[in-house]
Structure 1
Amino acid sequence: MYDHCIIGGGIVGLAVAMALQERTPGARIVVLEKEPELARHQTGRNSGVIHAGIYYAPDSLKAKLCREGAAATKRFCTDNRIPFETCGKLLVATNDAETERMDALEGRARQNGIDYTRLTSARLRTAEPGIAGLGALLVHSTGIVDYAVVCRAMAQKIEARGGEIRRGVAVTAIHEQEKSVRIESPSGCVDAGKLVACAGLQSDRIALMAGLKINHRIVPFRGEYYALPASKAKVTQRLIYPIPNPDLPFLGIHLTRTIDGGMTVGPNAVLGFAREGYAKGSFAIADVGSMATFPGFWKMARRNWRSAISEFANSASRARYLKECRKYCPALTIDDLQRPQAGIRAQAVMADGSLVHDFLFKQTERMLHVCNAPSPAATSAIPIGRMIVDRLLEGIRATNVSPTLQGVEA
């Protein structure tokens, strides 16, 4: 009999386990991960950026968690000798419309207390000779790290404190009882006083398995990106992002340095036909069926068909993809787009077709399901874990988004 069981060995699930050990020393804790290794999906396939929080609404929980999370992540890396670098990020405006949006973003940076510098076109060329634009915001505190390495260090800490992590355990059934929760798998049953589910791409299925009524489904979006050759790995010393379009849910194609000295370009955001299919053309009939039978998916598709066509075109044509990159990095050529790779984002979509950009929890007497943990969940994982534990131990009942989390921008 365990005190707490956590489903999901990504960074949020492991952060919850660490927070539980901090709050309840001596408690028996077990983490169940269906893969043979931790961080195999969203955590291990993201861009590895430690975000500063410039995009988020001032005074919002998202902005607060991002700032706290960036500091906590860097502290954790320092304490555990994990390589990271605070290289900074440039948000580059390449036309008049983006310059106007940059003005609004600068105001948000001031309100959020973000350390930044506004660069003119000339100062941008001086700072980054390979980057072109009408101007830019330089966010000084943005960093890079390998979150899979962070997860392995978290796991070592959890196990050193007496926690148990079971890999290769796929949950097949969940039964909430009066005094415990029974979690079934092919390798046997686990009984725990309370359950926290941080299942990412499978979070809706785990919630349904537990008998919860939900009015959303997970829709997978593929983020496709390319690795640049070694000759272009130093094309910039910082991360290069476009000015985001507030009408779109994703940040656009960007240049990202990696902690191992490489450089990637991307991602785009195309509808995926397999939640865990990373090869191009992956198709899983169960995942497609889940979308096709969910009315909210079709409502979302009708609202976003124009951007969907554009993203699919970028996916199909490297020339179109390159055109997006060359807006701010004209030195890139078609031959520079090498070794295509992909990550998949778990996007919660409501029955009315709206995309969920906030945290989404479902909670009962003995279970808390994290149905949506929006970007930048990896950056913010440590304070998110503490927030989840607060909710769990306080026994707050919540059937949808917490009132304190509503209205937070993506």
Structure 2
Amino acid sequence: MTLIATNAAVPAPRTCPVTHATPAPSVVDPEAALEFLTRFHAEAEPSVPLARRIRRIREEIDATGTYAHTTEELEFGARVAWRNAARCIGRLYWRSLHVRDRRHVRTPADVAAECVEHLRVATRGGRIRSTITVFAPDRPGAPGPRIHNDQLVRYAGHRMPSGAVRGDGKYTEFTDRAVALGWQRPDPPGRFDVLPLLIADGDCEPEVFELPPDAVLEVPLTHPDHAWFAELRLRWHAVPAISNMPLEIGGVTYQAAPFNGWYLGTEIGARNLVDADRYDLLPVIAERLGLDTSSERTLWRDRALVEMVRAVQHSFDVAGVTMADHHSESRRFLTHVEREERAGRRCPADWSWIVPPVSGGLTPVYHRYYDEPDPSTRPAFLLPTPRSST
């Protein structure tokens, strides 16, 4: 069994100014560690006896306030956190999550370099692989690194002199923040400018790191029936790598643990590109389709939405980039629920996230109830905590 050294020196106190008021990492709760270890030994059946491992962990917590997971424990914990993710429809594949153990990495520059490598490893030329990269955890008195981006790849939102936004309207504030920290806006600003990574040593001021173009695979969007769609010059990135949700395993919190699956077509076609506060493209598509937009009763939004989703799905298929469709993934999710029930486990699900944002009633996930999510369930990916400036 591979062990991470626990007698390594605690990082030296940081001299940077603290820019965000965040709770100081506390001593690990031994009961949380015991609960996780009991589950791990029951499901994974490692060779080391449970009593011996518990004794070792109690000694570590008594001496340092925390403990180090073995490689096997980390892999199991990350996969079960995905299994427990009530908002994710793609959990059928939780056992195949590729875990990159980078717990020795904590400086912003090194974290940024590993984030770039994460994208390359996960992308694989379009054959997207579910991947997580786990960086140094919080320790008592020594918070681990933080990635301030909500995903490794996002597009900038530029406030124009006219008051309009060019790009992704959701990210105007984040874009302004990146500029204030030293990022140079492209000139002229575009609609799909990849934002830099903002990475901090704990609660220090984040540093700015540009993503190299070869690390971000993008898919140009076309339509199977309408040649004019290509004239819109739309595109989207291939890997949805969430990067601001802490991973908690057995009382240990890994604040920086970016992870990805692959896109569902509706995420891009029925949300990112059409939400009114994002790209708001439905009126453009409706006009090109020649739809009557004089009344909501013409259902022009619905008709335009379906064509947008078709374009996204078609484009990813043509490019050879992994993407799921909401009908197939809904059936697969129910397969996952059945497997979990046969294993004697609850399968919590947030109905509002599991049901797709288009044609929900046509999918099997719509027509049933699910176990309510339990916020105390661990291992888990935690919702990000809003940072308040000091």
Is the structural similarity TM-score above 0.5? Answer: no
Name whichever structure is richer in strand by fraction.
Answer: 1
Structure-1-length-normalised TM-score: 0.24
Structure-2-length-normalised TM-score: 0.25
